Structure 1
Amino acid sequence: MSTFVQIRDAGVAADAGDGFDSPAKQKAASRSAYSYRPLLNLRRAKQFLGASKFKLFLGLFALSVVILVTSRLSSWMGWNPHHPSSVSSTSRAGYTVLINTWRQKSLLKQTVAHYASCRSADAMHVVWTESEQPSERLKTDLNKIVVLKSQKAHKSNFRFYINEDYESNSRFRPIKDLKADAIFSVDDDVIVPCSTLDFAFSVWQSAPLTMVGFVPRMHWLDKEQNNVAYYRYGGWWSVWWMGTYSMVLSKAAFFHRKYLDLYSHEMSPSIQGYVSRERTCEDIAMSLLVANATGAPPIWVKGKIYEIGASGISSLRAHSHRRNRCLNELISLYKPLPLVSTNVKAVSARNEWLW
């Protein structure tokens, strides 16, 4: 055993003395050491993490690489699968934007300009509910805006829909010669980005008989006396706290055009009378109508919307009391209660980091 050690040491000594410090040998030695560094690092990592943890680490690393490559592949190849704008293709119909306006001419121009730029907007109708008729100058200006802002060869069909009785039910009067089944009902002070609107439209296409919107509201049973239930109307903070909703407001929502006919011709005259007197309940009435027809909840779409201009009637102190009273009055005309609560929310996975 000692002889072997002496022979090995002698060999090393011989190598050391036989030109080991020459440039060629130094370069070869450095290459050899460098080539083994990755393997040495892997061995050290394996010893540090342990066999099972090391395999998990490698698996996660490989998965990260795959996700990165696939996410970049679409941009490298010019391919964008399932883009929201695909709903505007000729094989699929667009939607009609139904704008409710009241004494906000400057906001109306801004709103019309925005929705005219949305490619899937097939038509635009402004529901005019003021006693004073719109001027010819305003009509001309809005038509020019639609032509200027439209981004497709076929310009959006633009019309004023003037109601002589200028009351809340006028918002949901039937409209003749509509080509699209989808109605996007929106207030004149609400802006929804076109990409967000296209996503909501695709959600509605998957469930065209329900309401699909951006402004969720809820109801809950507060108390019951003498077999009479009293319900509370919950705004956004109630939805956020409870995690449920049962309505989406027509200030920014899709629904099928057939509900315009049902609202005007099939809904109880007593409901229409109450809405006409109160002037703030037509959105609740429409939610009840659709829920009663489908027996299903609406769908809330997650997405940013922007309210322009000054605060509306919802900022008034008496608004909450009026909404509670309106909800209970309208519910009393339905037996049983048609509203269905849900906690489902439609979210575009393209805009989320985690599923």
Structure 2
Amino acid sequence: MAPNRPQVSFQNKAFATVLSDPRELEAALVSIYSLNYASKTDIIVLLASVQFGSSHIDQLEKVGAKVIKTNDTADKAATNLWALFDYQNIIYFTPDVVFEKKVDELLALPVGAADKDVSILVLEPNPRTFTMLSRNPSSSFVAMLRQASLIDDKQSLTTLDEIALVYRGPMKPWNFHAYNDSDWKKHYDPVAFYKWRRIQQNVQHLLRLDDDWNNKARQRTICDNYLDTTTNITHFPVQDQFSVMISTYNPERIQHLSLIIRHLLKSEKVHTVFVTWHNPHLDVPRSLFQKIRKVDYSRVKVLKQSFDSLNNRFNPSSELQTDSVYIMDDDIYVDINDLEFTFAAWQSYKDSVVGHFPRMHTYDPETELATYKVVGNAPYSIILTKSMFIRSDYLFSYTCLLEPQLHASVDSQLNCEDLGFAMMASGLSGAPPTVVRTAKSMEDFGLRKGISTNAAHMPARSQCISDFISDYWHKVDPLKSSYISIAPFTRPRIRTGNWSRIEKTIMSQKKR
């Protein structure tokens, strides 16, 4: 039976999509928003699930859709496209389409025209086709179309790239951080993904989901500027050196920061030292430049920030040329030989976060409760940003592609940016973190006054883990446990064999 017709003004043609799972809603909102700004044609949404509530319908209507609810399965609900008799033609689209320009050209295409994956299809509503399809709802939507000869392979949309972005692969811009496979780079398209995220920001603003966030313009400002000044964001030509990104905020630490920079520049493996100056209300003290004037200042870049956010420590930079970045706090000192050894270890584990400060967590998807603790033995699942090596690609991924509301959570709590980053890195690549054991003791000047000394720190970290996994990874924990610890090579301890000694050892083991 045909669905109730929406109260719409009569038009010859319309766009339409079918949603069967609320998890498709965000992608659909972006797709409809992009279409609504490219064409003034009606946009119909068929909801094929009782899981959609009034709040979902309200959001769809706010971005310009006309909603029809059905109680059918997704494939059966799709047959109702042929029951939209008020329209001469329907241009069907899936939620993984973002419309860019020349959309009205689709309205002139003949019935049966489709792209290769049937992400877009031109169809003609009529009672005869609707009745025929309703009698055979068991097959998949695409199979049903082909069986009924409703796709004209001679009318394929070969020029679709000029009209829309279709996210065809297994990795989508809304779920890239949960892809969880080592072949992630084959499907990773940061520029195309950012186009989707940029539209999603517009949707959030329209739906007033970011009204109480002071930094809501931060992601767009930083990422637009980065793309405007960078020719190839996935190409980092320097492979045999690494860059350093030091986060600092307090002018009182300038003297010690200059010592760290001078220390780092002693290494020929260090290509550039980037100082991320987090305080947008103060200029960088001149004393910093005075104290490092005797070293190679051309290798030092100061990144002054316009927004006050801990997320700034992962901002991409157009001046970054190395494929590896060493992220560190301004109160950590690591011996140069140990640092260069850690870089060598990272080169064997490039998808991993490789560093020196391990932590362990747990997460229960049923209760949505998490724990967080310092560990002295394996396993561990997190490497802190106090001292860690990462892929340079991950900077853009975190800053420009992650859900903005995760960044907002970091801003509101002044905490947890490293947890969000760790989840993104493991969730994207499926790679666990890797700890490197240094030959010399590291110096941590934050042990007495750092944020981790606060009694509320550990419970707050546990809550962040719970919130992030529940809200942004759909209760599927992206963090991986690791048992690996990499240490500098030392000669194996070997002595001349003695069977009597071995026999005594084996016999003593039996008695335990």
TM over 0.5, yes or no?
yes
In 1: Cα distance, 2:464 partner to 2:333 partner = 27
What's the counterpart of residue 272 of structure 1? 407
Q: How much does 1:353 deviate?
A: 6.2
The alpha carbon displacement at 1:100 in A equals 0.6
Q: Which residue of 407, 416, 420 maps to 1:281? A: 416
The alignment status of 1:190 with 2:326, answered yes or no, reads no
1:346 aligns with 2:486: yes
354 and 325 in structure 1: CA distance in 2 versus 1, 3 angstrom threshold: farther
1:140 to 289, 292, 299: 289
1:305 aligns with 2:305: no
| SS of the residue 1:337 aligns to | coil
Q: Say which of 349, 353, 357 aligns to 1:207.
A: 349
TM-score by length of 2: 0.47
CA–CA separation in structure 1 for the residues paired with 2:465 and 2:258: 33
Contact 2:245/2:274 (<8 A) preserved: yes
1:98 aligns with 2:235: no
The 3-state SS of whatever aligns with 1:263 is helix
Structure 2 residues without counterparts, runs of 5 or longer: 1-237, 495-512
Whole-Å Cα distance in 2 between the matches of residues 211 and 132 of structure 1? Answer: 32
Do the aligned partners of residues 180 and 142 (structure 1) sit closer, same or farther apart at CA in structure 2, a change above 3 Å counting?
farther
Q: Distance in 2 between matches of 1:125 and 1:187?
A: 12
Moved more, 209-218 or 101-110: 101-110
* Partner Cα separation in structure 2 for residue 216 and residue 247 of structure 1: 6
Equivalent residue for 1:316? 454
Q: Quote the sequence identity (%).
A: 26
| Alpha-carbon distance, 1:107 to partner | 2.1
Tell me by how many angstroms 1:306 deviates: 0.9
Amino acid across the alignment from 1:274: S
Amino acid at match of 2:343: F
Q: Higher helix proportion, which one?
A: 1
Residue number among 326, 333, 345 corresponding to 2:464 in the alignment: 326
Aligned equivalent of 1:240: 376
| Residue of structure 2 aligned with 1:249, choices 358, 378, 384 | 384
SS of equivalent residue, structure 1 residue 228: coil
Give 1:354 deviation, angstroms. 4.5
Q: TM-score, normalised by structure 1?
A: 0.66
Q: How far apart are residue 93 of structure 1 and its match?
A: 2.0
Letter in 1 for 2:354: V
Please state how far the C-alpha of 1:92 moved relative to its aligned partner: 5.2
SS at 2:295 equivalent: helix
Provide, for residues 140-161 of structure 1, a one-character-per-residue CA deviation record: whole Å limited to 9, x for no partner: 22541532xxxxxxx7621110
Higher Cα Rg: structure 1 or 2? 1
Task: Choose between structure 1 and 2 for higher RCO, CA contacts under 8 A separated by at least 6 residues.
Answer: 1
Answer yes or no: is the 8 Å Cα contact 2:277–2:284 preserved in 1.
no
1:327 Cα deviation after fit: 1.3
Deviation at 1:166, TM superposition (A): 1.9
Residues 37-67 of structure 1: CA distance to partner in whole angstroms, max 9, x if unpaired? xxxxxxxxxxxxxxxxxxxxxxxxxxxxxxx
Q: Give the distance between the partners of 1:126 and 1:95, measured in 2 at CA.
A: 14
Taking structure 1 as reference, are residues 299 and 159 closer, same or farther at Cα in structure 2, changes over 3 Å only?
same
Q: Counterparts of 2:464 and 2:285 in 1: how far apart (Å)?
A: 37
Partner of 1:337: 477
Go from structure 1 to structure 2 and tell me whether the alpha carbon gap of 1:179 and 1:135 turns closer, same or farther (over 3 Å shift).
closer
- Which shifted more, 300-309 or 196-205? 300-309
Q: Which 4+ stretches in 1 moved above 6 angstroms?
A: none
Shift of 1:120: 0.7
One-letter identity of the residue aligned with 2:483? N
Closer/same/farther in 2, CA of residues 194 and 274 from structure 1, 3 Å limit: same
Which aligned pairs between 1:24-103 and structure 2 lie closer than 5 A?
93-103=240-250
d(CA) in 2 for partners of 1:273 and 1:146? 38
Tell me how far apart the structure 2 counterparts of residues 255 and 125 of structure 1 sit (CA, whole Å): 15
Deviation at 1:133, TM superposition (A): 2.5
CA RMSD of aligned residues (A): 2.2
